[in-house]
Amino acid sequence: HPLKHHLTLTLLALTSLSHFPPASPLTPCRTLCGTTAINYPFSIDDGCGAPQYRSMLNCTGTDLFFMTTSGRYKVQSIDYNKQTMVVYDPAMSTCSILQPHHDFVMTDVESVVIPPSSDTIFALLNCSIDSPVLNRYKNLCFNFSGHSCDELYGGCNAFRVFHSFTNSSPPCCFTGYDTVKYMSMNILDCSHYTSFINVDGLKGIGPADWVYGMKLSYAVPDTGCGRCTRSGGACGYDTETGVMMCLCSTSMNATRECGSNGDIGGAQKLALRTKFHAFALV
């Protein structure tokens, strides 16, 4: 009988709905690049993380890079407790290798939200006697942990070439990030630079054993991200407006957290739509 057949199908549909597997929240934000964890405020997917850090990181294969206008800097580590990121410039000169002339340039946003930390020192090498840091701005140069320019020129294979040109060491300058931020290497009139970190622990240690690279320091925007992650979502933002959002799936976002106050996660909404669709087909 047609009516009996329709009721049977309806009951079967309702039974199948009662056994529909619960939907698990699916977020569109990757949380790993190789072995490096990608947590808020950073991201490697547009729309994830905090908008201030948009497009700063790039994941290529298993390698994570910090992107600036002057190049790609390999991310060696991110310490989410200390809120620091250690990056390495593959084009930078170090104690063991001399690289071509090179500047380190950050965008205006990067220099504000994730600048090099105070324990990152820049060494300006092979400077002219007319360099502004040896004259008008000589107060920008300082000594650290008892080290001198002669140590770099005499203790590093890469920098001995500068010493060999003359019987004396050419001028150099130990300085902070602000110096290279506001003056290019051409203006500084120095041919090369290098940088190293954790300078407080370098007393009595020769330059061959220094840790070369840059430690960047950042702050985490207080946007209630913890509430979002506890609900199974990922913190992100609208790519057009920059408004912060809780990303609950690849298809639906919530304003605060997933599955509460009317903000149902996309995976859950998708499940509800699928259930309704199955019933409507009967």
Q: Which tens digit of pLDDT belongs to each residue from 75-106?
A: 999 999 999 999 998 889 999 999 987 889 99
Q: What is the pTM of this model?
A: 0.78
Number of domains in the chain: 2
8 A C-beta contact, residue 125 and residue 152? yes
Bridge partners of 33, per DSSP, are 36
At 163 the three-state DSSP class reads helix
Comparing C-alpha atoms, which of 79, 110, 97, 114 is closest to residue 218? 114
8 A C-beta contact, residue 268 and residue 259? yes
Residue 187 has pLDDT above 50, yes or no: yes
Average pLDDT estimate for 49-65: 96
Residue 74 has pLDDT above 90, yes or no: yes
Name the one residue in this structure whose structure tokens are 């320019």.
149
Does some domain include residue 134? yes
State the pLDDT at residue 223: 77
State the pLDDT at residue 1: 55
My answer on whether 95 and 198 are in the same domain is yes
My answer on whether 231 and 172 are in the same domain is no
- Tell me the pLDDT band of 145, cut-offs 50, 70 and 90: confident
Does some domain include residue 180? yes
Residue 196 has pLDDT above 50, yes or no: yes
Does some domain include residue 154? yes
- Tell me the pLDDT band of 264, cut-offs 50, 70 and 90: very low
Boundaries of domain holding 6 = 2-29+222-280
Positive or negative: CA dihedral 122, 128, 133, 134: positive
Does some domain include residue 175? yes
My answer on whether 126 and 188 are in the same domain is yes
State the pLDDT at residue 260: 56
Q: What is the DSSP letter of 260?
A: B
My answer on whether 203 and 238 are in the same domain is no
My answer on whether 114 and 184 are in the same domain is yes
Instruction: Give the mean pLDDT of the chain.
Output: 81
Q: Phi/psi at 149 (nearest 5 deg)?
A: -60, -35
Does some domain include residue 259? yes
3-state helix, strand, coil in the chain (%, to 5): 30, 25, 50
- Tell me the pLDDT band of 214, cut-offs 50, 70 and 90: very high
Average pLDDT estimate for 48-54: 95
My answer on whether 210 and 230 are in the same domain is no
- Could you tell me the CA-to-CA distances from 236 to 62, 118, 214, 225, 253 in Å, in that order? 23, 29, 27, 9, 9
